[in-house]
Amino acid sequence: MRPTIEFLGKNLIQQIVSEAYLILCTLGIEIHNKNVLEMFSDHGAKVDIDKSRVIFKEDIIQKALKSAPKSFKLYDVNGNETNDFSGYNVHFTPGSTSINVLDYKTKQIRKPVTDDYINYVKVVSQLEHIASQSTALIPADVHENISDSYRLFLSLLYCEKPVVTGTFTIDSFEIMKDFQLAVRGSEKALREKPLTVFSCCPTSPLKWSDVTSQNVVDCARYSIPVEFISMPLAGFMAPVTLVGTLIQHTAETLSGIVISQLTNPGTPMLYGGSPAIFDVRFETTPMGAIETMMIDCAYNEIGKYLGIPTQAYIALSDAKQLNAQAGLESGIGATLAALAGINNISGPGMLDFESCFSTEKLVVDNEICKQVLRLVKGIEPKEDFPALPIFEELLKEKHLLISEHTRKYLREEHSFPGPVINRANRARWKEMGEFTLEERAHMEVEELVNSYKPSTLAEDTKREIINLMEREGKKYGQTSLPDRY
Partner 1 sequence: MKILKQVAEYLEKGDRERVYELTGQALEQNVSARQILDDGLIAGMKVVGDRFRKHEIFLPEVLMAARAMNAGMDLIKPLFIKEGVTAIGKIVIGTVYGDLHDLGKNLAGVMLKGAGFDVIDLGNNVPAQKFVETAEKENATVIGMSALLTTTMMEMKNVTNLLKDKGLDKSIKTIIGGAPVSEEYAKSIGADAYAYDAASGVELVKQLV
Residues that bind partner 1 (CB under 8 A): 398-399, 401-402, 406-407, 410, 416, 425-428, 431
Query: Cα(first)–Cα(last) distance of the chain, in Å?
Result: 47
Of 59 and 397, the one with the shorter C-beta distance to partner 1 is 397
Task: Please give the single-letter amino acid code of residue 182.
Answer: A
Among residues 105 and 426, whose Cβ is nearest to partner 1?
426
Cα(208)–Cα(249) distance, rounded to whole angstroms? 13
Minimum distance between the CB of residue 430 and partner 1, rounded to whole angstroms?
Answer: 9
Least distance in angstroms from the C-beta of 410 to partner 1? 6
Provide the minimum distance between the beta carbon of 411 and partner 1 in the complex, in angstroms, as a whole number.
9
Q: Strand 276-277 vs strand 233-234: parallel, antiparallel, or unpaired?
A: parallel
Closest among 485, 372, 434 to 130, alpha carbons compared? 372
| Cβ-based nearer residue to partner 1, 192 or 413 | 413
| Minimum distance of partner 1 from residue 400's CB (angstroms) | 9
Other Cβ atoms closer than 10 A to 398? 8
Residue 146 DSSP class: G
Q: Which is nearer to partner 1, 428 or 471 (CB)?
A: 428
Q: Which of 218, 223, 181 is nearest to 200 (CA)?
A: 218
Beta strand 81-85 with 350-351 is unpaired
- 103 residue type, one letter: D
For the CB of residue 24, give the shortest distance to partner 1 in the complex, in Å: 55
Closer to partner 1 by CB, 1 or 401: give it.
401
Residue 355 or 406: the one with the smaller Cβ distance to partner 1 is: 406
Closer to partner 1 by Cβ: residue 118 or 127: 127
Looking at the chain, the number of H-run helices and the number of E-run strands are: 17, 20
Q: For residue 211, how many C-alpha atoms fall within 13 Å in the half-sphere facing its CB? A: 13
Cβ nearer to partner 1, comparing 34 with 430: 430
In whole angstroms, how close is the CB of 402 to partner 1 at the nearest point? 5
Query: Could you tell me where the beta strands, DSSP code E, fall in 293-343?
Result: 311-313
Whichever of 51 and 408 has its CB closer to partner 1, that residue is 408
> Which residue's CB is nearer to partner 1, number 426 or number 453?
426
Closer to partner 1 by CB, 32 or 374: give it. 374
Q: Tell me whether residue 281 or residue 423 sits nearer to partner 1 (CB atom).
A: 423
In angstroms, what is the minimal distance from the CB of 405 to partner 1? 11
Query: HSE of 287 in the Cβ direction (CA atoms, 13 Å)?
Result: 29
Angle at 212 between CA 206 and CA 213, to 5 degrees: 70
What span, in angstroms and rounded, lies between the C-alpha atoms of 258 and 266? 11
In the complex, minimum distance from the CB of residue 399 to partner 1, in angstroms, rounded to a whole number: 7
Q: Least distance (Å) from partner 1 to the CB of residue 406?
A: 6
Assign 422 to helix, strand or coil: coil
Sheet harboring 100-102: ordered strands across? Answer: 109-110, 100-102, 356-357, 350-351
Angle between helices 459-475 and 172-184 (to 10 degrees): 170
Report in angstroms how near the CB of residue 404 gets to partner 1 at its nearest.
Answer: 10
- Minimum distance from residue 446 beta carbon to partner 1 (Å): 18
| Those residues with Cβ within 8 angstroms of residue 315's Cβ, 6 or more apart along the chain or in another chain | 92, 330, 333, 334, 337, 345, 346, 347, 348, 365, 368, 369
Task: State the minimum distance, in angstroms, from the CB of residue 374 to partner 1.
Answer: 16
Give me the residues paired with residue 109 across strands: 102
Residue 348 is which amino acid? P
DSSP for 147-173, please give it. Answer: HHHHHHHHHHHH--S-EEE--SSSTHH
**Contacts with 170 (C-beta within 8 Å, 6 or more apart), sequence order:** 210, 211, 214, 215, 218
